[in-house]
Amino acid sequence: MRGNDSAGLPSAAFFTPGSSSFTEFLAAHRPRLLPTAPPLPPGTRMAPDRFPHGTTVLALTYRDGVLIAGDRRATMGNLIAQRDLEKVHPADDHTAVAFAGTVGLALDMVRLYQVELAHFEKIEGVPMSLGAKATRLAAMIRQNLAQAMQGLAVVPLLVGYDHTAPGGGRIFSFDAAGGLYEKQQFHAEGSGSPYARGALKKLHRPDLTRREAALVALQALYDAADDDSATGGPDLGRRIFPVVSVITEDGFERLPETETEQLSRDTVRQRTARPDGPHAAL
């Protein structure tokens, strides 16, 4: 967005007063840079199974905050397109986003969302509230509706730590049209989400420790992989394990690979003894 002057100074758009939204700035001056810009001419039909799609992600609240996790598999029709995809990303110090859906669009949307939150804080001098972050992400998803109607949907899962909320952790889900829904205690998105939610409903407790919450998330992802071919379970041979992150009062933290590996091996060992998984306490 350089000007035409010989000094190479930024164009006048950078000096024009506007809103604190970087997305609105791009929409006004460089709409083709948005991940929601139509990639093909009007009337062109897309083949969704020709693009990698991410599958199961989940979140649950626990004693110290909120945990968010995702498997690593991306599929393209009946093919495995990638085995080590990163589906969980920090949005800022106290917020994280995970995604199911079209990988290319989702990764661009996540990067734009990260810039959106940083831009707002620099312009306004204060971080955006968690509720406003969820509303802003919903608006970005709504801009992708045309692609979603052709099968290129992006369905994020947003979590954050809110000092004003009981327990601190909050979970937000979205639909392909940008509908925003706050979920209590736990939620999952993606093709394996019905099986993951069943496991979470059985195993979740509000007083879980971090280790217990991580094991519950891994058990839920294991159930999803057990019944959904698009969801990848722990790959012990390749040492590829789900991504597990937590957000507490101290901020975002991704569990170290060594910890996730050990918890994954514990989960596989438990499933060897009890293939259907742990039973819920009555």
* SS3 annotation, the chain: CECCCCCCCECHHHHCCCCCCHHHHHHHHCHHHCCCCCCCCCCCCCCHHHCCEECCEEEEEECCEEEEEECCCEEECCEEEECCCCCEEEEECCEEEEEEEEHHHHHHHHHHHHHHHHHHHHHHCCCCCHHHHHHHHHHHHHCCHHHHCCCCCEEEEEEEECCCCCCCEEEEEECCCCCEEEECCEEEECCCHHHHHHHHHHHCCCCCCHHHHHHHHHHHHHHHHHHCCCCCCCECCCCECCEEEEEECCEEEECCHHHHHHHHHHHHHHHHHCCCCCCCCC
Q: How far apart are CA 271 and CA 267, in angstroms?
A: 6
Q: How far apart are CA 214 and CA 233, in angstroms?
A: 15
Q: How far apart are CA 30 and CA 2, in angstroms?
A: 12
Q: How far apart are CA 65 and CA 170, in angstroms?
A: 8
164 catalytic, yes or no? no
Q: What are the phi and psi torsion angles at 211 (to 5°)?
A: -65, -45
**Which member of 55, 75, 102, 260 is catalytic?**
55
Hey, which residues are catalytic here?
Answer: 55
